[in-house]
A and B are shown apart, each in its own frame.
Chain A
Amino acid sequence: DVKVTQSSRYLVKRTGEKVFLECVQDMDHENMFWYRQDPGLGLRLIYFSYDVKMKEKGDIPEGYSVSREKKERFSLILESASTNQTSMYLCASSLWTGDGYTFGSGTRLTVV
């Protein structure tokens, strides 16, 4: 089974800190995605990547950046954390769209 591993389950950070959320997949998937999930707003796509060193903005990229130096790892970076970035962050990967996504367990980030 494909595994998508997010490094932290729960994270508490201070306003203004630079925050790194790490995601690793172990099945050589080309595509990787970062979503945030908020009550009443559903899942919103932040960034995605089709290949190493390649990135595309999703629907809500403001305040975020990403890094994909290796195929298996896709990092989400909050340049200067703010309280409105408190959320559940979900990483996903896929070989191709018809297979659907495999999701990680999520990182619940609280910015205080």
Chain B
Amino acid sequence: AQSVTQLDSHVSVSEGTPVLLRCNYSSSYSPSLFWYVQHPNKGLQLLLKYTSAATLVKGINGFEAEFKKSETSFHLTKPSAHMSDAAEYFCVVSFSSNTGKLIFGQGTTLQVKP
């Protein structure tokens, strides 16, 4: 079965330290992969996407993610956290370019401490 798992429901970091949000997927197909961010009471905003081009993907606000096929992972990183990064982050996968449907992870809440 096709699925996506975010390994941490909550991550807490200090401002200025690195961020790592982990995501694994399960599929026998080549996926398209996305990370979205949601600030409180707002809609979801696309951070970055992987669609079978370069395996290291750069997104907005200094975030990047690396697609590792052998590990079926797509972890999100940022070298230095900012207070404004505090939000919920969703790893999202599409396993078929024809259906238009995405599968969402359960989300990881990022807390950034001063």
Which A residues lie at the B interface, using CB under 8 A? 4, 30-31, 33, 42-43, 45, 48, 50, 90, 92, 94, 96-106, 108
Contact = CB atoms under 8 A, between A and B. Distances in A.
Interface string B88-108: 001010101111111011110
Interface of B: 32, 34, 36, 41-46, 49, 51, 90, 92, 94, 96-102, 104-107
A82 B35 CA distance: 33
A5 B51 CA distance: 26
Contact of A100 (B34, B43, B101): B34
A97 B42 contact: no
A73 to B, nearest CB: 17
A97 B107 contact: no
Given A48-B100, A100-B92, A105 B105 contact: no
Contacts, number: 58
A61 B41 CA distance: 24
Secondary structure at the B interface, as helix, strand, loop or mixed, is loop
B58 to A, nearest CB: 15
Contacts of A108: 41
A31 B104 CA distance: 17
A43 B41 CA distance: 14
Given A43-B90, A94-B100, A98-B94, A106 B43 contact: yes
